[in-house]
Amino acid sequence: MKGVVIKSTGSWYNVLSEDGQMIDCRIKGVFRIKGIKTTNPIAVGDSVLFELEEEGKGVIHTIHDRKNYIIRKSINLSKQSHIIAANMDQALLIATLALPRTSAGFIDRFLLTAEAYHIPVSIVFNKIDLFENDPELMDELNAFIAVYEKIGYKCYKVSATENKDIEVLRELTKGKTTLVSGHSGVGKSTLVNAMDKQLNLKVGEISDVHFKGKHTTTFAEMHPLSYGGFIIDTPGIKELGLVDMEKEEIADYFPEMRALRNECKFNNCMHINEPKCAVLEAVEKGEIAASRYNSYLGIINGEEMENTNY
Ligand SMILES: Nc1nc2c(ncn2[C@@H]2O[C@H](COP(=O)(O)OP(=O)(O)OP(=O)(O)O)[C@@H](O)[C@H]2O)c(=O)[nH]1
Ligand SMILES: [Mg+2]
Ligand SMILES: [Zn+2]
Protein backbone atom coordinates (compact mmCIF):
# COMPACT_ATOMS: atom_id res chain seq x y z
CA MET A 1 0.00 0.00 0.00
CA LYS A 2 1.07 3.54 -0.65
CA GLY A 3 0.81 6.47 1.72
CA VAL A 4 2.31 9.65 3.07
CA VAL A 5 3.85 10.12 6.52
CA ILE A 6 1.74 12.54 8.50
CA LYS A 7 3.43 12.38 11.87
CA SER A 8 6.33 10.68 13.53
CA THR A 9 6.42 9.81 17.20
CA GLY A 10 9.67 8.04 17.92
CA SER A 11 9.61 4.65 16.28
CA TRP A 12 5.99 4.85 15.07
CA TYR A 13 4.80 6.72 12.03
CA ASN A 14 1.26 7.76 11.23
CA VAL A 15 0.72 7.10 7.57
CA LEU A 16 -2.23 8.35 5.56
CA SER A 17 -2.90 5.72 2.94
CA GLU A 18 -3.98 6.51 -0.59
CA ASP A 19 -7.50 5.39 0.23
CA GLY A 20 -7.71 7.78 3.17
CA GLN A 21 -7.03 5.54 6.15
CA MET A 22 -4.70 6.52 8.99
CA ILE A 23 -2.39 3.62 9.80
CA ASP A 24 0.30 3.28 12.48
CA CYS A 25 3.46 1.95 10.91
CA ARG A 26 6.88 0.77 11.98
CA ILE A 27 9.96 0.57 9.80
CA LYS A 28 11.55 -2.63 8.64
CA GLY A 29 15.25 -2.67 7.94
CA VAL A 30 17.73 0.16 7.88
CA PHE A 31 17.11 3.24 5.83
CA ARG A 32 20.03 5.43 4.99
CA ILE A 33 20.05 8.60 3.01
CA LYS A 34 22.99 9.25 0.78
CA GLY A 35 25.36 11.93 1.99
CA ILE A 36 23.71 13.04 5.22
CA LYS A 37 23.65 11.66 8.71
CA THR A 38 20.21 12.06 10.17
CA THR A 39 18.59 11.19 13.44
CA ASN A 40 15.35 10.23 11.72
CA PRO A 41 15.26 7.94 8.70
CA ILE A 42 11.73 8.90 7.72
CA ALA A 43 10.22 12.36 7.91
CA VAL A 44 6.83 13.98 7.71
CA GLY A 45 5.90 14.31 4.05
CA ASP A 46 7.73 11.17 2.97
CA SER A 47 5.96 9.05 0.44
CA VAL A 48 6.22 5.41 1.48
CA LEU A 49 5.15 1.88 0.64
CA PHE A 50 3.99 -0.33 3.48
CA GLU A 51 2.42 -3.69 4.17
CA LEU A 52 -0.47 -4.25 6.50
CA GLU A 53 0.08 -6.63 9.40
CA GLU A 54 -2.36 -8.10 11.86
CA GLU A 55 -4.22 -5.68 14.15
CA GLY A 56 -4.27 -3.03 11.46
CA LYS A 57 -0.67 -1.94 11.95
CA GLY A 58 1.70 -1.47 9.04
CA VAL A 59 5.36 -1.96 8.19
CA ILE A 60 7.10 0.56 5.96
CA HIS A 61 9.53 -1.11 3.57
CA THR A 62 10.20 1.55 0.93
CA ILE A 63 10.64 5.32 0.89
CA HIS A 64 10.28 7.05 -2.44
CA ASP A 65 12.94 9.52 -3.50
CA ARG A 66 12.37 12.93 -1.98
CA LYS A 67 11.57 15.86 -4.22
CA ASN A 68 13.14 18.05 -1.53
CA TYR A 69 13.60 18.15 2.22
CA ILE A 70 14.72 20.53 4.89
CA ILE A 71 16.88 19.65 7.81
CA ARG A 72 17.76 21.17 11.11
CA LYS A 73 21.28 21.08 12.42
CA SER A 74 21.69 19.08 15.57
CA ILE A 75 22.14 21.09 18.71
CA ASN A 76 24.74 18.69 20.10
CA LEU A 77 28.08 17.64 18.71
CA SER A 78 26.98 14.43 17.04
CA LYS A 79 26.99 16.23 13.69
CA GLN A 80 23.69 14.57 12.93
CA SER A 81 20.82 16.44 11.35
CA HIS A 82 17.13 16.05 11.77
CA ILE A 83 14.92 16.03 8.71
CA ILE A 84 12.03 18.37 9.48
CA ALA A 85 9.92 17.62 6.44
CA ALA A 86 10.05 16.31 2.90
CA ASN A 87 8.29 16.82 -0.42
CA MET A 88 6.97 20.34 0.01
CA ASP A 89 5.52 22.45 -2.79
CA GLN A 90 6.13 25.70 -0.96
CA ALA A 91 6.83 27.32 2.39
CA LEU A 92 5.14 30.12 4.25
CA LEU A 93 7.50 32.00 6.50
CA ILE A 94 5.43 33.51 9.28
CA ALA A 95 6.95 36.69 10.67
CA THR A 96 5.91 39.41 13.09
CA LEU A 97 7.40 42.78 13.82
CA ALA A 98 6.26 42.60 17.43
CA LEU A 99 5.67 39.94 20.07
CA PRO A 100 8.03 38.37 19.10
CA ARG A 101 9.98 40.43 16.63
CA THR A 102 11.34 38.57 13.62
CA SER A 103 14.70 39.95 12.57
CA ALA A 104 15.74 40.58 8.98
CA GLY A 105 18.65 38.24 9.65
CA PHE A 106 16.30 35.39 10.46
CA ILE A 107 14.15 36.02 7.41
CA ASP A 108 17.19 36.18 5.15
CA ARG A 109 18.64 32.96 6.50
CA PHE A 110 15.35 31.21 6.01
CA LEU A 111 15.07 32.49 2.44
CA LEU A 112 18.63 31.42 1.72
CA THR A 113 17.92 27.91 2.92
CA ALA A 114 14.71 27.68 0.94
CA GLU A 115 16.50 28.91 -2.21
CA ALA A 116 19.16 26.27 -1.71
CA TYR A 117 16.52 23.57 -1.32
CA HIS A 118 14.44 24.93 -4.21
CA ILE A 119 11.38 25.59 -2.10
CA PRO A 120 9.33 28.65 -3.12
CA VAL A 121 8.60 30.92 -0.15
CA SER A 122 6.00 33.55 0.61
CA ILE A 123 6.34 35.72 3.70
CA VAL A 124 3.29 36.19 5.89
CA PHE A 125 3.38 39.05 8.37
CA ASN A 126 0.97 38.07 11.11
CA LYS A 127 -0.49 40.00 14.07
CA ILE A 128 -1.22 43.02 11.90
CA ASP A 129 -3.97 43.91 14.40
CA LEU A 130 -1.28 44.80 16.92
CA PHE A 131 0.02 47.72 14.95
CA GLU A 132 -2.78 48.94 12.80
CA ASN A 133 -2.96 51.90 15.17
CA ASP A 134 0.78 52.40 15.22
CA PRO A 135 1.78 54.29 12.07
CA GLU A 136 5.47 54.06 12.87
CA LEU A 137 5.45 50.28 13.13
CA MET A 138 3.26 50.09 10.04
CA ASP A 139 5.75 52.19 8.05
CA GLU A 140 8.49 49.92 9.20
CA LEU A 141 6.52 46.88 8.11
CA ASN A 142 5.82 48.35 4.69
CA ALA A 143 9.52 49.13 4.26
CA PHE A 144 10.31 45.52 5.15
CA ILE A 145 7.78 44.28 2.65
CA ALA A 146 9.14 46.54 -0.09
CA VAL A 147 12.58 44.97 0.33
CA TYR A 148 11.27 41.45 -0.15
CA GLU A 149 8.74 42.12 -2.87
CA LYS A 150 11.41 43.87 -4.92
CA ILE A 151 13.47 40.69 -5.02
CA GLY A 152 10.54 38.48 -5.88
CA TYR A 153 9.06 37.21 -2.61
CA LYS A 154 5.34 37.63 -2.25
CA CYS A 155 4.34 39.15 1.11
CA TYR A 156 1.04 39.12 2.95
CA LYS A 157 -0.24 41.07 5.94
CA VAL A 158 -2.74 39.15 8.03
CA SER A 159 -4.18 38.73 11.46
CA ALA A 160 -4.92 35.17 12.52
CA THR A 161 -6.87 36.15 15.61
CA GLU A 162 -8.97 38.78 13.77
CA ASN A 163 -9.41 36.57 10.69
CA LYS A 164 -8.07 39.35 8.55
CA ASP A 165 -7.02 38.56 4.96
CA ILE A 166 -6.86 34.84 5.59
CA GLU A 167 -8.80 33.91 2.43
CA VAL A 168 -5.82 34.66 0.20
CA LEU A 169 -3.78 32.13 2.20
CA ARG A 170 -6.46 29.52 1.59
CA GLU A 171 -6.14 30.09 -2.14
CA LEU A 172 -2.37 29.95 -1.91
CA THR A 173 -2.34 26.63 -0.06
CA LYS A 174 -5.24 24.86 -1.74
CA GLY A 175 -4.15 21.54 -3.22
CA LYS A 176 -0.53 22.00 -2.19
CA THR A 177 1.79 20.72 0.51
CA THR A 178 2.89 23.81 2.41
CA LEU A 179 5.45 24.10 5.15
CA VAL A 180 4.56 26.71 7.76
CA SER A 181 7.63 27.95 9.53
CA GLY A 182 8.86 30.77 11.75
CA HIS A 183 9.86 31.59 15.31
CA SER A 184 7.95 30.20 18.22
CA GLY A 185 5.02 32.43 19.11
CA VAL A 186 4.52 34.18 15.77
CA GLY A 187 1.15 32.45 15.44
CA LYS A 188 1.74 29.59 13.01
CA SER A 189 -0.73 27.24 14.64
CA THR A 190 -3.30 29.99 15.17
CA LEU A 191 -2.99 30.91 11.51
CA VAL A 192 -3.46 27.35 10.31
CA ASN A 193 -6.56 27.04 12.51
CA ALA A 194 -7.90 30.25 10.97
CA MET A 195 -7.25 28.99 7.46
CA ASP A 196 -9.06 25.73 8.06
CA LYS A 197 -11.77 25.87 10.71
CA GLN A 198 -11.86 22.06 10.77
CA LEU A 199 -8.41 22.00 12.30
CA ASN A 200 -7.78 22.57 15.95
CA LEU A 201 -4.03 22.81 16.46
CA LYS A 202 -2.75 23.55 19.89
CA VAL A 203 -2.01 27.19 20.44
CA GLY A 204 0.27 28.51 23.16
CA GLU A 205 0.53 31.59 25.22
CA ILE A 206 3.52 33.80 24.83
CA SER A 207 5.55 33.91 27.99
CA ASP A 208 5.69 37.43 29.38
CA VAL A 209 9.25 37.01 30.50
CA HIS A 210 10.90 36.80 27.13
CA PHE A 211 8.16 37.77 24.76
CA LYS A 212 9.02 34.60 22.96
CA GLY A 213 6.85 31.63 22.29
CA LYS A 214 7.14 28.48 24.30
CA HIS A 215 7.41 25.91 21.54
CA THR A 216 3.87 24.71 21.74
CA THR A 217 4.34 22.64 18.62
CA THR A 218 7.15 20.21 19.29
CA PHE A 219 7.21 17.95 16.26
CA ALA A 220 6.55 18.78 12.67
CA GLU A 221 3.15 17.41 11.81
CA MET A 222 1.24 17.29 8.57
CA HIS A 223 -2.45 18.19 8.55
CA PRO A 224 -4.78 17.40 5.66
CA LEU A 225 -6.69 20.56 4.74
CA SER A 226 -10.45 20.22 4.44
CA TYR A 227 -10.28 22.31 1.25
CA GLY A 228 -7.51 20.17 -0.27
CA GLY A 229 -3.79 19.97 0.31
CA PHE A 230 -1.61 19.62 3.37
CA ILE A 231 -0.08 21.95 5.90
CA ILE A 232 3.09 21.03 7.73
CA ASP A 233 3.13 22.88 11.03
CA THR A 234 6.63 23.02 12.47
CA PRO A 235 7.94 23.83 15.89
CA GLY A 236 9.30 27.35 16.17
CA ILE A 237 12.71 27.17 14.69
CA LYS A 238 15.84 29.12 15.29
CA GLU A 239 17.31 28.40 11.95
CA LEU A 240 17.30 25.75 9.33
CA GLY A 241 20.47 23.84 8.70
CA LEU A 242 22.71 25.47 6.17
CA VAL A 243 24.20 22.11 5.53
CA ASP A 244 26.95 21.57 3.00
CA MET A 245 26.84 25.10 1.67
CA GLU A 246 30.11 26.61 0.52
CA LYS A 247 30.72 30.28 1.21
CA GLU A 248 31.18 30.81 -2.51
CA GLU A 249 27.65 29.56 -3.20
CA ILE A 250 25.83 31.80 -0.79
CA ALA A 251 25.49 34.86 -3.04
CA ASP A 252 23.81 32.63 -5.62
CA TYR A 253 20.94 32.12 -3.18
CA PHE A 254 20.38 35.84 -2.77
CA PRO A 255 18.35 36.53 -5.94
CA GLU A 256 19.41 40.18 -6.17
CA MET A 257 23.08 39.18 -5.97
CA ARG A 258 22.63 36.25 -8.31
CA ALA A 259 21.29 38.69 -10.88
CA LEU A 260 24.60 40.59 -10.80
CA ARG A 261 26.93 37.60 -10.75
CA ASN A 262 28.38 38.33 -14.20
CA GLU A 263 28.79 42.05 -13.60
CA CYS A 264 31.62 41.92 -11.07
CA LYS A 265 35.18 42.36 -12.31
CA PHE A 266 36.31 39.06 -10.85
CA ASN A 267 34.28 35.98 -11.59
CA ASN A 268 35.08 34.58 -8.15
CA CYS A 269 34.10 37.86 -6.46
CA MET A 270 32.83 37.38 -2.90
CA HIS A 271 31.41 40.93 -2.87
CA ILE A 272 33.29 41.94 0.26
CA ASN A 273 35.92 44.48 -0.73
CA GLU A 274 36.92 43.60 -4.27
CA PRO A 275 37.38 46.38 -6.81
CA LYS A 276 34.66 46.90 -9.42
CA CYS A 277 32.21 44.75 -7.51
CA ALA A 278 28.71 45.18 -8.94
CA VAL A 279 27.08 44.04 -5.70
CA LEU A 280 28.93 46.62 -3.59
CA GLU A 281 28.01 49.29 -6.11
CA ALA A 282 24.36 48.25 -5.95
CA VAL A 283 24.43 48.37 -2.15
CA GLU A 284 25.93 51.87 -2.28
CA LYS A 285 23.23 53.04 -4.67
CA GLY A 286 20.56 51.50 -2.47
CA GLU A 287 19.50 49.06 -5.17
CA ILE A 288 20.38 46.19 -2.88
CA ALA A 289 18.97 46.65 0.62
CA ALA A 290 21.63 47.22 3.27
CA SER A 291 19.83 44.79 5.58
CA ARG A 292 20.09 42.02 3.00
CA TYR A 293 23.75 42.73 2.38
CA ASN A 294 24.42 42.71 6.13
CA SER A 295 22.73 39.33 6.39
CA TYR A 296 24.92 38.08 3.59
CA LEU A 297 28.08 39.26 5.37
CA GLY A 298 26.92 37.74 8.65
CA ILE A 299 26.32 34.39 7.00
CA ILE A 300 29.64 34.21 5.20
CA ASN A 301 31.40 35.26 8.40
CA GLY A 302 29.75 32.32 10.11
CA GLU A 303 27.94 34.45 12.65
CA GLU A 304 25.41 32.66 14.76
CA MET A 305 22.02 34.23 15.01
CA GLU A 306 21.49 36.25 18.13
CA ASN A 307 18.02 36.39 19.56
CA THR A 308 17.59 32.71 19.03
CA ASN A 309 14.87 30.87 20.75
CA TYR A 310 15.23 27.27 19.91
N1 LIG B 1 -2.64 39.81 18.50
C2 LIG B 1 -2.49 38.68 17.83
N3 LIG B 1 -2.07 37.57 18.47
C4 LIG B 1 -1.91 36.42 17.76
C5 LIG B 1 -2.19 36.37 16.37
N6 LIG B 1 -1.94 35.11 15.95
C7 LIG B 1 -1.52 34.40 17.03
N8 LIG B 1 -1.53 35.19 18.14
C9 LIG B 1 -1.17 34.77 19.50
O10 LIG B 1 0.20 34.40 19.57
C11 LIG B 1 0.39 33.35 20.52
C12 LIG B 1 1.18 32.21 19.91
O13 LIG B 1 0.42 31.60 18.88
P14 LIG B 1 0.75 30.13 18.32
O15 LIG B 1 -0.17 29.92 17.19
O16 LIG B 1 0.77 29.12 19.40
O17 LIG B 1 2.26 30.34 17.81
P18 LIG B 1 3.20 29.29 17.06
O19 LIG B 1 3.95 30.07 16.05
O20 LIG B 1 2.42 28.13 16.58
O21 LIG B 1 4.20 28.86 18.26
P22 LIG B 1 5.03 27.49 18.42
O23 LIG B 1 4.10 26.35 18.21
O24 LIG B 1 5.57 27.60 19.82
O25 LIG B 1 6.15 27.54 17.40
C26 LIG B 1 -0.99 32.95 21.00
O27 LIG B 1 -1.23 33.58 22.23
C28 LIG B 1 -1.91 33.50 19.93
O29 LIG B 1 -3.20 33.81 20.41
C30 LIG B 1 -2.66 37.57 15.72
O31 LIG B 1 -2.92 37.62 14.51
N32 LIG B 1 -2.76 38.68 16.51
MG1 LIG C 1 2.55 26.08 16.99
ZN1 LIG D 1 31.19 41.31 -6.45
Tell me the whole-structure pTM to 2 decimals.
0.90
Please name the residue whose Cα sits nearest to atom 8 of ligand 1: 187
Give me the residues near ligand 2 (ion), CB cutoff below 5 Å. 188-189, 216-217
Ordered by where they begin, the domains of the chain are 2-83 (2.40.50.140), 88-233 (3.40.50.300), 247-300 (1.10.40.50)
| CB distance 190 to ligand 1 below 6 Å | yes
- In this structure, how many other beta carbons lie within 10 angstroms of the beta carbon of residue 76? 7
- How many angstroms is it from 102 CA to the middle of ligand 3? 28
User: What's the pLDDT at 211?
Assistant: 45
| CB distance 45 to ligand 1 below 6 Å | no
Nearest ligand to the C-alpha of residue 191?
1
| CB distance 185 to ligand 1 below 6 Å | yes
User: What's the pLDDT at 306?
Assistant: 44
- How many angstroms is it from 231 CA to the middle of ligand 3? 39
- Which of 156-170, 204-218, 247-261 has the least mean pLDDT? 204-218
Residue 74 confidence (pLDDT) above 70 = no
3-state SS string for 135-157: HHHHHHHHHHHHHHHHCCCCEEE
Residue 47 confidence (pLDDT) above 70 = yes
- Which of 178-182, 230-234, 242-246 has the least mean pLDDT? 242-246
Distance CA 174, CA 226 (A): 9
| CB distance 100 to ligand 1 below 6 Å | no
- How many angstroms is it from 274 CA to the middle of ligand 2? 44
Residue 231 confidence (pLDDT) above 90 = yes
Contacting residues for 79 by C-beta, under 8 A, at least 6 apart: 37
- How many angstroms is it from 100 CA to the middle of ligand 2? 14
